[in-house]
Structure 1
Amino acid sequence: MATLKTPDGTLHYELRGQGPLVVLFAAPMNAGAFETLADLLATDHTVLTTDPRGIRRSVLDDPEQDSTPALRGRDLALLLAEVDAGPAIVFGSSGGAVSVLALAQDHPEGVRAVIAHEPPHYTRLPDRDKLDARMEDMVATYAAGDTRTAWAIFMENANIHLPEGALEHMFPAERDPQDLADERYAFLHMMRGTVRFEPDVAALRDGPVRVLIGLGEDSAGELCDRASRELAAALGTEPTMFPGGHVAWTEDAEGFAVRLREVLRGL
């Protein structure tokens, strides 16, 4: 574990293993979400994980500063320069997916390829105005203190259908203060910039970094399924399929690692 001072804060990051450099990055999820997958890959890779800015151990000088894909992409570029372990393959999931796209188009140096797994941006979708209005309602609802309804709107926008009563189980009577702080930061300072990310298709398609758009086999019909397929088509490629759904790498790390290794070998 180590830290890196940046122009506007301090990043917490972790390195494990030896071999070609692979970065695992998500947002708003912290580095701990990748622990099992990182350990599996570290048998023959150097694996870099990090808490995204404003989350957990990556603190900002101004804790109310918004987090955008461009800023998170810059953070990743600073970490790659600090680690200096050769050209990296960077896997980003969810908000991390749009972050690695920003990395590829803005800071391609030191990056061999990026795998953007289920980017949740909707700026290229035909119903973006409706999605954006719901997103604003969600943020306002959370800011007003109605956490459960805000999460319900989030799931509706993402077109994720939870089992009956699942939302209730997400909110135990006592919640960890750090979890609450991370949730607040994600809703109030991260989600807008993430879903409103506008990829530079020409830079991603024609630039020096190979770009793969990852998609979960169980995500059919969800917002990230639509966004991923649209962006892959714009780039002139097909989605790279992975087992499971949006956060499969947390639910079945071993199965996900098998498929990710196959993809890494092709890069």
Structure 2
Amino acid sequence: MVHEGQVSDTLIPEQSLDPGLYIVATPIGNLGDITLRAIDVLKRCEGVACEDTRVTGKLLKHLGISKPLWRYDDHSEHRDRTRLVDSMRTRAVVLVSDAGTPLVSDPGYRLVNDCRAEGIPVTVVPGACAAIAGLSLSGLPNDRFLFAGFLPGKDKARREFLEELAPVDTTLVFHETSPRLLKSLETIGEVLPHREVAVARELTKLHEECRRGLTHGLVAYYEAHPPKGEIVLLVGPPVPIEASEADADILLAEALQTLKPSQAASRVAKETGLDRKQLYARAMELREG
């Protein structure tokens, strides 16, 4: 019974959303991190494009929402994406990933580009993001940071990738899987020595943890305690260290094992604040000698 001055939800249908694409962030672990706006958009949309219908189905069931689910990932064919874009001319379609913010190391880039090319409105509903959560938890400098996605799985490619990022004077943020963590930490220790590293694991979940230190200590810990779950791996910016000529020779000799003299000189100059030209000359002497 509805009393005077009250409004019954059953008497007023939910206002439909305007047609278009709605990019909706979902929880990365704790289901309580879903936003009120995300719930509202999921309730009022006409369908949800998702990576895994089973994962998204569980979330919607938890929220008490029932919607058509369409699988969409980076392996979807062009014609599937075209059909999805065409449907948005008359329907409101939500895009979600399995966890967190879509398009951040997740599918959606091509879909958003196609929508913009076709004049389909695109709306973002922000929320949880593992990379940002890890950065906040780590305590590493965050006035500037570079998110670089997943590190390559193969040793050579991972090393080259990190060497490319070595000159970047800011905190580096990566996604990583637990089976590859030890190899990644070892390579970081070789390519980016003396830089502080943080491992943020199981974010927002019951066993959330963030361990921080130099790579050799983290490697020893995770050898004894094999990690589980999804990981955000962070590498602090280079910190200049005071070094004598003898110290510089040790650092140069270490760097020359994998780098050219010019690259070794640049790295040691970054780490110590010593003159790069003098370090290059010394690197040439060490290599020849």
Question: What TM-score do you get using the length of structure 1 for normalisation?
Answer: 0.29
Question: What TM-score do you get using the length of structure 2 for normalisation?
Answer: 0.27
Structure with bigger RCO (C-alpha 8 Å, 6+ apart): 1
Q: Give the number of the structure whose alpha-carbon radius of gyration is greater.
A: 2
